[in-house]
Amino acid sequence: MSNRSLLLIVGVCVAIVVFFQSAFTVHQTQRALVLQLGKPVGGILEPGLHFKLPFVQNVIYLDSRVLDYDTQPAEAITQDKKALVMDNYVRWRIVDPLRFYQTVRTIPSAQARLEDIVYSQLRVYIGQFTLTQIVSEERIAIMDKVTKRASEIISEYGIEIIDVRIKRTDLPAENQRAIFGRMQAERERQAKQYRSEGQQESTTIRSTADKEQAVILAQARREASIIRGEGEARAARVFAEALSKAPDFYEFQRSLETYRKSFKTNTRILLSTDDPFLKHME
């Protein structure tokens, strides 16, 4: 192999090395910065093919997608002096890669800033509400305020906070026992009150029912007396009419009624044979 050929091969190899040291691509989910001696040069690079100075410059890539950060649980004090253990997560993204690199440089450092800022704002807003308000109607409003305020503060690091949400809210163990004790006492007080109100209502209903029963029975007795009186009066008229129209038949009918009432089971009657009582039994 001649010297010229050898130089040509070496030149090609050097050109290939220089090309791969100069050319680089940025993925569509990333943004890139070119560093020279540790300082950014040339601004933010969008997705695509780019070139840099070989051996002098290097490239760092930053994720442009929305990222999740699951923060560590921390305590906060409510307005009514209750301690809460909050476990939340943050959705965030890098909106200014150059500013991000100049201030926090790496994702772990950014997450540390996020945790500090988010928990400081959580403590501020949770301290403005009672425990009952936080776990019921004010929870979403507090998260919205924390998201807005924390995003304003973190913007100086080239970061935007999309959302802050509380995954779980617990009480410290000693507070849980105290609160459970108060809840139990409160439930027992309510149960006692409900039983007392139920007994009072039962007494009222029973008294009203007894009163209505007495009124209905008195009215029924009065109507029965009236009906019985009218029946007896009608019977007396029928008997009077029967006596005037057929005295013998009336006497015979009355005698049969007398016999039916007198000769009952186990009844013993002593009469003489000529007793008028036996006239119709001959």
Question: What confidence tens digit (pLDDT) does each residue in 80-89 have?
Answer: 887 778 888 8
Classify domain 66-176 at the CATH superfamily level. Answer: Band 7 domain (3.30.479.30)
184: its two tokens: 């139990």
Buried b vs exposed e over 222-252: b needs ≥16 C-beta within 10 Å? Answer: eeeeeeeeeeeeeeeeeeeeeeeeeeeebee
Buried b vs exposed e over 83-120: b needs ≥16 C-beta within 10 Å? Answer: ebbbebebebebebbebbbeebeeeeebbebbbebbbe
Are 5 and 36 within 8 A, CB to CB?
no
For residues 251-265, average pLDDT: 77
Are 63 and 30 within 8 A, CB to CB?
yes
Closest CA to 159 of 233, 208, 220, 92: 92
Tell me which amino acid residue 63 is: D
Q: What percent of the chain has pLDDT over 90?
A: 39
Query: Is the pLDDT reported for residue 3 higher than 80?
Result: no
Banded model confidence at residue 231, pLDDT cuts 50, 70, 90: very high
In the three-class reduction of DSSP (H, G, I as helix; E, B as strand; rest coil), residue 193 is classed as: helix
Banded model confidence at residue 94, pLDDT cuts 50, 70, 90: very high
Kindly report the average pLDDT of the chain as a whole number.
Answer: 86
Whole-angstrom distance, CA of residue 220 vs CA of residue 227: 10
Task: Report the predicted TM-score, pTM, of the whole model to 2 decimal places.
Answer: 0.56
Query: Is the pLDDT reported for residue 8 higher than 80?
Result: yes
87 or 150, which is more confident = 150
H or E segment at 245?
A: helix 173-245
In the three-class reduction of DSSP (H, G, I as helix; E, B as strand; rest coil), residue 150 is classed as: helix
Whole-angstrom distance, CA of residue 167 vs CA of residue 185: 29
Alpha carbon dihedral 125, 128, 131, 137, in 10-degree steps, equals -70
pLDDT at 182 (0 to 100): 80
Are 121 and 146 within 8 A, CB to CB?
yes
Q: What is the DSSP letter of 105?
A: -
The alpha-carbon radius of gyration of the chain (Å, integer) is 53
Banded model confidence at residue 207, pLDDT cuts 50, 70, 90: very high
CA angle 228, 231, 236 (to 5 degrees): 125
Domain ranges (residues) in the chain: 21-63, 66-176
Q: What is the DSSP letter of 157?
A: G
Q: What is the pLDDT of residues 32-72, one digit of tens each?
A: 999 988 888 888 999 999 998 888 889 999 999 999 998 88
Who contacts 168 (Cβ-Cβ below 8 Å, separation ≥6)? 86, 87
DSSP lists the bridge partners of residue 57 as 36
For residues 109-128, average pLDDT: 89
Q: What percent of the chain has pLDDT over 70?
A: 94
Of the ranges 3-12, 52-61, 132-141, 236-245, the best mean pLDDT one: 52-61
Who contacts 166 (Cβ-Cβ below 8 Å, separation ≥6)? 86, 87, 88, 139, 143
Query: Is the pLDDT reported for residue 171 higher than 70?
Result: no
